[in-house]
Structure 1
């Protein structure tokens, strides 16, 4: 039982770090996508007028 608990204690922080990094990447990617889409939309609007 203590061995399984030790493994859990070892792996959980690693999994947590991966999840946090992945979430940060997803948030950053969606942020940049919205920024790029916004600037791209502005360029298209300027071309139309």
Structure 2
């Protein structure tokens, strides 16, 4: 019983991650888009990712 419950939890978590990835990408894209419109913030963010 415990084995099936943990398997279902892992399966549910895996499905949640797959569903969340596109939203993460959309959020990151919107952050970069808004950062690009603000030069000071965009510059600091790009420096963080370049380093």
Deviation, 1:8, is: 0.9
Partner in structure 2 of residue 25 of structure 1: 30
State the 4+ residue runs in structure 1 displaced beyond 3 angstroms: none
Aligned residues: 34
Which is bigger in relative contact order (C-alpha 8 A, separation at least 6)? 2
Structure 2: unaligned runs, 5 residues or longer: 1-5, 40-51
Computing the radius of gyration from Cα coordinates, the structure with the larger value is 1
How high is the TM-score relative to the length of structure 1?
0.56
Deviation, 1:3, is: 0.3
Deviation, 1:32, is: 2.3
How high is the TM-score relative to the length of structure 2?
0.55
Structure 1: unaligned runs, 5 residues or longer: 35-49
